[in-house]
Amino acid sequence: FAPFDAWPTNAYGGITVQAAAVLADGSIVCSATLPGANYESYDVLLKLSAAGTTDYDFTNRLPAEILAHRLEAAPDGDFFLLGFGFGSTVSRLRPDGALNLDFVPAADRQSTYYAGDLNLLPDGRVMVVGVASAFYGLLSAGPLWRLNPDGSLDAGFSLSNSGTSLGTLQSVTAISTAPDGRVLVAGIFSTGASSIPALRRLHADGSPDWSFDPGAGFIASPLSGGVTVEALAALPGGGWLAGGDFGGYNRFNQRYLVKVLPETVLEPLTFAFAVTNVSLLETNTALSLEVRRRGDASQAANVTVVTEDGTATAGTDYLPLHTSLAFAVGEWSKSVSITLLDDAVVEPTEQFTLRLTNATSGFSVGQPAAVAVSLQNDDAAVEFTQDQFPALEEDGFALALVQWSGALFTNLQAQVRIVPLTGDGGALAVSNLVVRYGSGTRYSTNVICIPVMDDAQHQAARQFRLELSGSDNLVGGPRSNALLTLEDRDYVTSPARGVAGVVEAAANAPAGGVYLAGDFWAI
């Protein structure tokens, strides 16, 4: 089998085969660059028999500017082509080279730069790698999508389903799609300012498949210092071959070609939570946590989730939970929901725990086996600093102090209602006040100034009750009420006789009363 031995050469050499695919009848379709006169070359699409002879009934109907760099055979004899050049394309061709017009890519995927990989699913859908960006006349999109058998975009697959947990998929160099739609991706993933070449697997909807553990990932090439994965091939017995320019994989030093073991070999059968701890405010009414299983999903299995009190108490801070999660065949993750209770009490951060137990079907509980849930206080409290406050009418004001605690924020406010207990209420100029946190505070304490009316007449001491009331997320502390006592220092006067004239001297009499002396004409 030496199909190109007699083909022409030039100063650059002979024919260069870019891609090849074996069709259903055993024939071979090839994309190649052929040498021309002098230093020229041109791209062709040709077909060979199983013996290697050229099939001259096959016609290359693609534009000369298009070089097919990826070919994939279909079960019915057709084949798919990814090409780039003028008018980049993904096309379906019949065995004789004619375009199959039953497959027309979506309008927003026809001018995309197709420079990656292509996989055909058993149901006729096509997983495609490309670059969709404004440079190619498109809105920016992820580098991986799926087309329906007629070429339309399959909305059931979206990279947005995994972007927050795996990082942003910047580019893809190779893919391997399983019959169930799960796709192993070799590409560049970015999280924050860092970008790493990695293997990740996605479910058929684009969400992360946590059953695949990439371990320590690829080792950089000792020559180039980088990692490039050019090809992925699924093995019949499970696992994959990965080829490219790298130094090894998962701490195993072997250049260029490695075997990636299937998850059933790499991992024991376990259930585990996706996170180890969660912190949230009491205002959240529910918490949802993900439970994942690893190792195998070919059989149904169960695991029990239970809650355990810590400083947070079931029935007061959350509703207790004791439930069994049933994982169906092919199901790798499930969510469990916990109801949280807002108790409107100022308190420190409290905790409780969710724990996995009683795994079935040969599974065990892995790590993390428990999640610590921290409930942060969302309530604030206000109260008086003491039970009683004294005041003098002659001062013209009365002072009272309140203190704040808990989850404080600017402009938190409380109402102060003033209720007369003895005497009349006319001595105080107001009956209601508003006190605001963040306005005149010092060390979370407010001074309230209550105006007092001074009538210059002696009165007995009067008492008032000061009542504090809050608003949403503001509760009254133990001293929500305080007693204000208003004293009067005016002199006591009684009906008296007057003096007409000038009093020049006065003296107290031993038996009481006053001696007056002066120049006056009437008493």
pLDDT in tens, 54-95: 888 888 776 666 678 888 999 999 998 887 654 457 888 899
Query: Which of 184-198, 385-399, 470-484 is most confident?
Result: 385-399
Whether 417 and 467 have beta carbons less than 8 Å apart is answered as: yes
Q: Over range 277-298, report the average pLDDT.
A: 83
On whether the 380-487 domain is CATH 2.60.40.2030, my answer is yes
Give the tens place of pLDDT for each residue, 342-364. Answer: 776 777 788 999 999 999 998 99
pLDDT at position 321 = 93
Report the share of the chain in percent with pLDDT over 70. 85
Fold (CATH) for 270-376: Immunoglobulin-like (2.60.40)
**DSSP characters over 120-166:** E-TTS-EEEE-B--GGGTS----SEEEE-TTS-B-TT--GGGTHHHH
Q: State the distance between the two ends of the chain, measured CA to CA, in whole angstroms.
A: 150
Residues 41-50 have a mean pLDDT of 84
pLDDT mean over 315-322: 91
CB 159 within 8 A of CB 168: no
Q: What is the pTM of this model?
A: 0.53
Cis status, amide bond into 368, omega within 30 of 0: yes
Of 227 and 458, the one with more pLDDT: 227
Nearest Cα to Cα of residue 256 among 243, 238, 274: 243
Give yes or no for residue 138 having a pLDDT over 60: no
> What is the rounded average pLDDT of the residues 134-151?
70
Taking the C-alpha atoms of residue 434 and residue 470, their distance in angstroms, rounded to an integer, is 10
Q: According to the model, what pLDDT value does residue 86 have?
A: 42
Return the structure tokens found at 278.
């969660």
Taking alpha carbons only, the member of 268, 311, 307, 302 closest to residue 289 is 307
Q: Average of pLDDT values for 113-124?
A: 78
User: Which range is least confidently modeled, 73-87, 91-105, 143-157, 431-445?
Assistant: 431-445
Among the ranges given (84-98, 308-322, 385-399), the one the predictor scored with the smallest mean pLDDT: 84-98
Name which residue leads in pLDDT, 447 or 353. Answer: 353
Q: What's the CA gap between 308 and 373, in Å, rounded?
A: 10
Greater pLDDT, 86 or 332: 332
Specify the higher pLDDT residue, 430 or 89.
430
What pLDDT, on a 0 to 100 scale, did the predictor assign at position 64? 63
Mean pLDDT of the chain: 81
Comparing 114-118, 159-163, 394-398, the range with the smallest average pLDDT is: 159-163
- Among the ranges given (123-132, 323-332, 393-402), the one the predictor scored with the smallest mean pLDDT: 123-132
Question: How many residues in total does the chain contain?
Answer: 523
